Amino acid sequence: MMKNKVLLFIGLFIMTLLVSGCGDDDISIPLGENGESISVGGNEEDGFTFETENEDGESFSLSSSKEIPEEFPSEIPFPDKYEVFSTSQINDNGDEGITVSYLTESMTFDEVWEMYQVFKEEHGYENVSEMKMDGMNSMTMNKGDDGMSVNVIPDEEGKQITVTITYFKKAETTE
């Protein structure tokens, strides 16, 4: 039921942004008498947010911007020079996913790939999968309830490297 509402409201979110002209005002819409609500807001410069909560207090939020979220682990390495072009953050009842995409010309494809291989080894991540295809390397790794995937893609000349890192942390449960 919650998932259907989320899909419905993602559509409403997009429609609201189009109608509002991506203004700066946040909009909160109550969905009934039981405390269910949805909030949307943002602008092109600062990013967008989408939040929903049902009567049981279960929540889902999605946000995007060009700034690395504070919750993104600081130990995950980046080149000396890079430009973030997209970030997104999803929180589903405490389970959190953060995706950061950036471009760099300060390191080669092989240097970037090696940087994340070294990170994996030095921080105790277990290799789940690794794929190397023409023009793209990808790996997925886990450490406890933390998971991470890294995709490294060079441009045709091999000068500009696109990297997408997705970090996932499962909500801590008290038993």
pLDDT digits (tens, 9 = 90+) for 122-151: 999 999 999 999 889 999 999 998 999 999
Which single residue is written with the structure tokens 């609201």? Answer: 16
Q: List pLDDT tens digits, range 32-61.
A: 565 555 555 555 555 556 566 666 666 666
CA distances from 48 to 19, 44, 63, 133, 168 (A): 15, 7, 5, 34, 20
Residues 172 and 89 placed together within one structural domain of the fold:
yes
Residue 157 has pLDDT above 70, yes or no: yes
Residue that finishes a domain, picked among 46, 62, 78: 62
Of 62, 91, 113, the last residue of a domain is 62
- E strands along the chain, which residues? 27-30, 37-43, 47-53, 59-65, 83-92, 95-104, 126-133, 136-143, 146-154, 161-169
- The helix/strand/coil state of 22 is coil
Residue predicted with more confidence, 90 or 142: 142
Burial class (CB in 10 A: 0-12, 13-18, 19+), 112: buried
User: What's the chain's Rg over C-alpha atoms?
Assistant: 19
Residue 1: DSSP 8-state? -
Residue span of the structural domain in which 74 resides: 66-175
106 lies in the same domain as 159: yes
Q: Which backbone phi and psi does 99 adopt, to 5 degrees?
A: -115, 130
Question: How many distinct structural domains can be found in the chain?
Answer: 2
Please check whether residues 57 and 140 belong to one and the same domain: no
The reported pLDDT for the residue numbered 58 is 65
- 18: pLDDT strictly greater than 50: no
How far is the first Cα of the chain from the last one, in angstroms, to the nearest whole number?
A: 26
